[in-house]
Structure 1
Amino acid sequence: MSSDTTDKGTLSDRLIDAVLRTLIGGLMKMPFERRTALMGSVVRKVIGPLAGYRKRAMKNLALIYPDMAEAERRRVADGVLDNMGRTLIENYSWRELGERLNGAPVHGAGLPHIAEAKAAGRPVLFVTGHFSNHEVPRQVLTAMGYEIGGLYRPMKNKLVNEHYAKTMTEMSGPVFAQGRRGTAGFARHLKSGGMGTLLFDVAVPEGVLVDFLGHEAMTATSAADIALRMDALVVPYFAVRTANGFEVFIEEPIAHTDAATMMTEMTRRLEAHVTAHPEQWFWVHNRWKPQKARAAATIAPGPGS
């Protein structure tokens, strides 16, 4: 073990965790609206540029929207960073967020299907992306009487991940870290007739190549694989950030076909929201890198095929 590493993480991990805890602790003493606005500003003006997030967002926006003016790309990138900051502190402020979500508009044809599945003891898998605050639909449905577990990708900083995962569990239900043990726990949760949520819009080393915003993106098939194996209802859901809070969309379930077709349809659903509100998607992901894994990939069917 190196001199700057202990069982509590590296020196860098400990410093980052200490700074984040101090920042969050100070913000939590402020009124909710001021706290969320300030955290959005800190990420937009300080953390995002220093961490290279703005640069990556601008690069991805230029790839997808080559005709977009530089000023517009910067506006969208700044909105992305602001959304990141607000989302982080909102989730640590989940009780107050929940109060403000009371009465939030809920749209979509998925609600009766969810109720029917619950009554029948059928598993439900909600799928979504890193769009707006992706925890909001889970919290809204929790307030309606549903318990929804989550499968998430752990943060590299284990100290930060520990308290963030604890917050997610307190907010809406059990969360399971990706990996053999966590995925098995998530599967057991669903198999018992439970409900769970999974984010599918991150780059993976193998899977299927799906067209996302005009460019191929390697996409894991785990959501479709789990649904097909367990006969789980697959329901895309999203929150859209508005001037007055959020609107929640619980969409029509995705038909069971094959993994590639199902992942393509999930991507189409996310794509529609990203196109309408580009500043609310997590453009700092290195999402498009199919050339590194093309040999291991299946090409998903294109629209209309």
Structure 2
Amino acid sequence: MPVDPSELSTWSHVKYYGSNLFLRGLLVCTRLIPYRLRVPLMGRLVTVMGRLAGFDKRVRTNLDLVSPELSEIDPDTLYRDVSNNAGRMIAEIYAGAPFHDRAKAAPITGPGLKALEEARAAGRPVLLATAHFGNYDAARAALFARGFEMGALYRRMANPYFNDHYVAAIKGNGEPLFEQGKRGMVELVRHLKKGGIAAIVTDLHAQGGELIDFFGKPAVTSTVPAELALKFGAAVIPVYAVRQDNGLDFEIVMSTEIPHSDPLTMTKSLSADLEAIVRKHTGQWFWIHRRWKPFVPVSKPGRKANPEAG
């Protein structure tokens, strides 16, 4: 979890400032290149830089963990696909109008769109559950363009210098934004109470979450989205922006609304829905995440650590 900037050491400030200068310089330079060339170029650059950072090893480790589930996938090919998608996403978030135009033109498919329209017509709050897949901001921009104003919960980046302009960039895809934490959660709750729509990513390791299988291995997963939905009567609809073969366009896929039951069952359904679309487009999910980190139990009765969760 990112710490407050005031808690960083002098060395951390120097390191983050230097890396931010490099990244900002790279983004400024690439903006001089036409969008059609800039996006794939950033994909290739991130692929190279990711290898230097050892991210290809992280992908291989995660793939080995879930094998034989995905034993037919070549880890080097998967890394190239994952890092290329990540680089393209970075370029897109900072691109402004060219990205927004493509997102607005993206077709929206799946039964979730009807569920969203019905919830809005009834004044019912909605939680759009997404993940680090494709480019989740494309889904937000596409829905905004069709009149679905929404908030979004985001996690502050560890690098405070990069975080400032990153947040400014994603605001261009719609507001309000709620920073993960006590204050952000209060703001999100207020938004839902008013019948608002909010997007939230559900695929990160969440300390204090529940062990839920993802590709056959237990991963610590937050049940908070489901708990919020049950408390405020919100519809929970999975949504994904699937990158198309040309690498620049998207299809917005909205799955069936998750039925209300209990937090654990609903969260399992969300995880299963994400796994299903990742199986179709394996290289578009961020396999660099430490999704299967070891489980550290918290003081809740009946919850036990699972040694296989690492």
TM surpasses 0.5: yes
SS in 2 for 1:156: coil
* Residue identity opposite 2:106 in structure 1: A
Give yes or no for the alignment of 1:13 onto 2:40. Answer: no
Q: CA deviation at 1:5?
A: 3.1
Match in the other structure for 1:181: 183
1:148 and 1:172 in contact (8 A); partners too: yes
For 1:110-129, what aligned pairs fall within 5 Å after superposition? 110-129=112-131
Aligned-partner Cα distance in 1 for 2:41–2:150: 30
State the Cα distance separating 1:159 from its structure 2 match: 1.2
Offset, 1:269: 0.6
Cross-structure match for 1:58: 60
- State how far apart, in whole Å, the 1-side matches of 2:59 and 2:299 are: 27
Aligned to 1:287: 291
Match of 1:24 in 2: 27
Matches of 1:278 and 1:216, distance apart in 2: 19
Unpaired stretches in structure 2, ≥5 consecutive residues: 1-5, 305-310
CA contact (8 A) 2:105 2:142 kept: no
1:116 partner letter: E
Is contact 1:239-1:249 (8 Å) kept? Answer: yes
Q: Which amino acid aligns with 2:275?
A: E
Q: How far is the alpha carbon of 1:17 from its aligned partner?
A: 1.1
Aligned residue in 1 for 2:221 = 219
How big is the shift at 1:286? Answer: 0.8
Q: What is the match of residue 260 of structure 1?
A: 264
- Aligned residues, how many? 296
Q: Name the structure 2 match of 1:97.
A: 99
- 98-107 or 262-271, larger mean C-alpha shift: 98-107
CA distance in 2 between partners of 1:129 and 1:78 (Å): 19
Distance across 1 between alignment mates of 2:297 and 2:95: 39
* Structural RMSD (CA): 2.2
How far apart in 2 are the matches of 1:186 and 1:68?
37
Partner of residue 302, structure 1: none
Does residue 269 of structure 1 match 2:269?
no
CA shift for structure 1 position 156: 0.4
Paired with 1:14 and 1:91, the residues of 2 have a C-alpha distance of 21
Identity of aligned residues (%): 38
1:70–1:179 Cα change, 3 Å: same
CA distance in 1, matches of 2:159, 2:136: 21
SS at match of 1:292: coil
Asked whether the 8 Å contact 1:130–1:282 carries over to 2, the reply is yes
Q: CA deviation at 1:53?
A: 1.4
Aligned to 1:34: 37
TM norm structure 2:
0.89
Contact 2:150 2:175 in 1 (8 A): yes
Whether 1:230 aligns to 2:232 is yes
Q: How high is the TM-score relative to the length of structure 1?
A: 0.91
* Cα deviation code 1:203-250 (max 9, x no counterpart): 122121111000001101111111111111111001111123211111
Q: Tell me the CA shift for residue 292 of structure 1.
A: 3.1
Q: Are the equivalent residues in 1 in contact too, given 2:102–2:250 (CA < 8 A)?
A: no
From 136, 147, 150, give the equivalent of 2:149.
147
